[in-house]
Amino acid sequence: MSEQIGFVGLGIMGSGMARNLVEKGHAVVVWNRTGSKMQPLVEAGAMAGDSPADVARRCSTVMICVSDTPDVDAVLHGEDGLLEGVSEGSLVVDHSTISPGATAEFAEEVRDLGGAWIDAPVSGGSEGAAKGTLSIMVGGSDEDVARATSAMEAFGTTITHVGPVGAGQQVKIVNQILVVVNQLAVSEALLFAQAAGLDLSATLDAVKGGAAGSWMLANRGPQMIERDWRPGFTIDLQQKDLRLALEAADAAGTPIPGTALVFQLYRALQNEGLGAEGNHALVKALEKMSGIEVGS
């Protein structure tokens, strides 16, 4: 590969994405705030950057995957921040899920330095990041998206150009509304099945192939039955996305009552110290109301 790719942010999603870039033949320079997280990638064949600025100076394309809007802000504007290394021809690809408004501001700053920005949030959980099967919703110009596509194909199987800069973040909000309301439906359904004395695994097999089938049901349902709360995506991160969704819906004047309900249920679980569990632990809020435990 001729173009060296930078990757900033090696958390639950970024580590798998960066590893796929390395394993599929890209020359990759990585950086992470907690330096120890770089070591497994270096052992796999990546190079370690000294700072976001260093990564941007060494790589014409830099990908970012961090948790929230303030984290992207810190990557860009902190000490030895990414913007210090951006120059004419740089392309910044933000895979984080952040504020659409902030995205527009960050993109303008990069443009002022002669670079370009695309927002490319991802969906598919840590499993998708590790397996290279993420869905990526991309906002940016045709030229910039085309330039980034070969790298994104290392970790994404569904890459959809949804519009100009900012559209990717808006579509990710659509995605998260669907995810959490679907998770509420899965939680209610499995709770009812438990209360009715049904065989939960057989019930899941009976419904997942029909009109009620979904990714959340097929992938998280078995975990819920087994009471395996390891996160593909944590409650804390899901709450951050729902805050963005509620803010965007308020700005658009759109009622999203189901999403608001899930936000409050997750808040109750966070107050019990469960924010690091997988977002499928939503069912625990309903269990508390009912005194019934799925999979017990």
> Does pTM top 0.95 for this prediction?
no
CB atoms within 10 A of CB 167: 19
Q: Please, which residues have CB within 8 angstroms of residue 52's CB and are 6 or more apart in sequence?
A: 8, 31, 62, 75, 76, 78, 80, 81, 82, 84, 85
Query: Which residue in 267, 216, 261 sits closest to 239, CA to CA?
Result: 267
pLDDT tens digits along 209-229: 999 999 999 999 999 999 999
Q: What is the DSSP letter of 88?
A: T
Give CA–CA dist 13/128, Å, rounded: 9
H/E element, 61: strand 61-64
Catalytic-role residue among 131, 172, 208, 288: 172
Considering only the top CATH level, what class is 170-290?
mainly alpha
The yes-or-no verdict on residue 18 having pLDDT over 50 is yes
Residue 172 is a catalytic residue: yes
How distant is the alpha carbon of residue 15 from its chain centre?
12
Q: What DSSP letter does each residue of 241-280 carry, written as one string?
A: HHHHHHHHHHHHT---HHHHHHHHHHHHHHHTT-TTSBGG
Domain residues of the chain, as ranges?
5-164, 170-290
H/E element, 48: strand 47-48
The yes-or-no verdict on residue 2 having pLDDT over 70 is no
Query: Per CATH, is 5-164 categorized as 3.40.50.720?
Result: yes
Report the C-alpha dihedral over residues 101, 103, 77, 93, rounded to 10 degrees.
170
pLDDT tens digits along 37-64: 999 999 999 999 999 999 999 999 999 9
pLDDT tens digits along 153-201: 999 999 999 999 999 999 999 999 999 999 999 999 999 999 999 999 9
| CA R_g for the chain | 20
- Coil, strand or helix at 177: helix
